[in-house]
Amino acid sequence: MIHNMKAAFQKTLQNIKMAIPMIIGILMLISLFNPLFQGYYSKVFTGNYFFDPLIGAIAGSVSFGIPVASYVTGGELLKEGVSLLAVTAFILAWSMVGTLFLPLEISTLGKKFAIWRNSMNFFISIAIAILTIITLEIIS
């Protein structure tokens, strides 16, 4: 049991070492850029059911990292006025679509699988974002 706890602690510590600097870096980036772009978010993200999730999904597709980093980024952008529709597509595409990791995915899982999966997940992230917002509107 003690051995298991030690192994679990070391694994968790590795996770912290990997994630915390990334999260701190993202928070620093957002805190620096938000005052500069604050006025533009509402002009770009108007709540349009096509363009907002499309922009969000494109941004998420070219970003990478553990999912929690996307929640921090998306959450901070939401506070600054980016629509929930765009932010939802962004956080989904972040972990479901891996454009930057496509060469690695192709080499390990095959070209056809990687290209089909990423293309399909891009559209799924947009679909889930739209469905989520519609569902939340119905619930509320």
Partner 1 sequence: MIEKFQKLSGGAKFMLFMIVVYLIAGVVDFSFAASAFHGFLANLSKLLPIMVFVYVIIFIVNLFLHPEKIKHHLGHDSGLKGWAYASLGSVLIITPPYVMFPLLGQLKEHGMKYSLMAVFLGNRNVQPAFLPVMVYYFGLSFTIVVSCYILAFSILSGIIMSRIMREYGSVKIG
Does residue 78 belong to the site contacting partner 1 (CB under 8 A)?
Answer: yes
Does residue 62 belong to the site contacting partner 1 (CB under 8 A)?
Answer: no
Which three-class secondary structure string do you get for the chain? CHHHHHHHHHHHHHHHHHHHHHHHHHHHHHHHHHHHHHHHHHHHCCCCCCHHHHHHHHHHHCCCCCHHHHHHHHHHHHHCCCCHHHHHHHHHHHHHCCCCCHHHHHHHHCHHHHHHHHHHHHHHHHHHHHHHHHHHHHHC
**123/104 Cα distance (integer angstroms):** 21
What is the x/- site pattern for partner 1, positions 15-44, by CB under 8 A? xxxxxxxxxxxxxxxxxx-xx---------
Query: Shortest distance, CB of residue 101 to partner 1, whole angstroms?
Result: 5
Query: Shortest distance, CB of residue 57 to partner 1, whole angstroms?
Result: 13
**140/136 Cα distance (integer angstroms):** 6
Which region among 39-47, 49-57, 61-69 touches partner 1 (by CB under 8 A)?
61-69
Which region among 40-48, 49-57, 91-99 touches partner 1 (by CB under 8 A)?
91-99
Interacting residues with partner 1 (CB under 8 A): 4-5, 7-9, 11-12, 15-32, 34-35, 64-68, 71-72, 74-76, 78, 84, 87-88, 91-92, 95-96, 98, 101, 104-105, 107-109, 112-113, 116-117, 120-121, 124, 127-128, 131-132, 135-136, 139-140
